[in-house]
Amino acid sequence: MQITAEALCQLLNGTLEGDARAVVDSVAKIEEGHSHSLSFLANPKYEEFLYTTESGIVLVSKDFKPSKPVRTTLVRVDDPYVAFTAILSEYVAQINNKSGIEEPSFIGENSEVGEGIYLGAFAYIGKNCRIGKNVKIYPNCVIGDNVEIGDNTILYPNVTVYLHCKIGANCILHSGVVVGSDGFGFAPQTDGSYAKIPQTGNVVIEDEVEIGANTCLDRATMGSTIVRKGAKLDNLVQIAHNVEVGENTVIAGATAVAGSTKLGKNMVVGGQVGIAGHIQLADGTKIAAQSGILSTIKEPGKNMMGSPAFEFKQYFKSQAVFRNLPELDKRVHDLQQELDALKVAMNENK
């Protein structure tokens, strides 16, 4: 990406201060910039770097007032963080603007790939697949039979999609994601062994979902495991069979959701959370990191914390008591000694 300050200003509907001909071709943090990099200032804590930065152009808010002379070119916008995010998106899109079919790769019979496909070396597409336009499938990906992938979706290296699964448009699956592996289903036998329960369903990922590296989504025993539109899953997340993740719900790393649980819309789930199976969590539920959710949450918008989890306010009250337990224990011990001494004194006075 290469753009002048004047063009950037027009693109972002901003106001220019400085050299309109300044050119940038990369992005950088304000404290690490160079003459051809674009940076931004949104947090006042970083203002000191504005006066020493080498970045060629810096995005600032329209109402920002510098306290010292500024050497770099400024582009004033409504929200520098939002504007910089938009530029980053365009920058990444250009970096990832790959197309064509590399060799060796394989496309199975009766499979269709759309215009603008990128298929990296050693990638495999099975039979009867439907791959949309401008899809990017990086090297060493494996796509099973009868898989559907929507337009503009990206599968980074080493993603595996098992047979019959469906992935929507504008999705991003990072390296090592596994879609459609068998759910953890085993029936205990009378001799103490376990018989495998065949997992005959699939995984359905709707549009605009992003899934982090090495996350696993198990296929349903019957029916579908579903990730609704706009959901975001971090690295190392486990989604078990027949789970449903609600629209625009975000789940941080190392979280595990057990089988047949339904997560509502617009939930926020912290890292290392464990969610039990066969329960339902209401829309807008927020769960703090390392919490354990063992039962259904019916009321929308609850803030939960702890293991087993309960509401934030009650949790912090309980934590205050917990921190004082050693002192409380000592006081109880002292009271017990005093009580024992009184009993002895009373018996002597009889």
Supply the residues annotated as catalytic.
Answer: 241
CA-wise closest residue to 289 among 311, 275, 302, 272:
272
Element (H, E) at 60: strand 57-61
d(CA 50, CA 32): 11
d(CA 207, CA 28): 30
d(CA 259, CA 268): 19
Secondary structure of residue 306 in the 3-state scheme: strand
Measured CA distances, 221 to 168, 201, 237, 245, 247 (Å): 21, 5, 19, 17, 22
Q: What does 4-47 look like in DSSP terms, one character per residue?
A: EHHHHHHHHT-EEES-TT-EE-EE--TTT--TTEEEE--SGGGH
d(CA 20, CA 3): 11
Q: Are 281 and 302 in contact (CB under 8 A)?
A: no
CA-wise closest residue to 277 among 185, 199, 210, 195:
185
d(CA 18, CA 185): 64
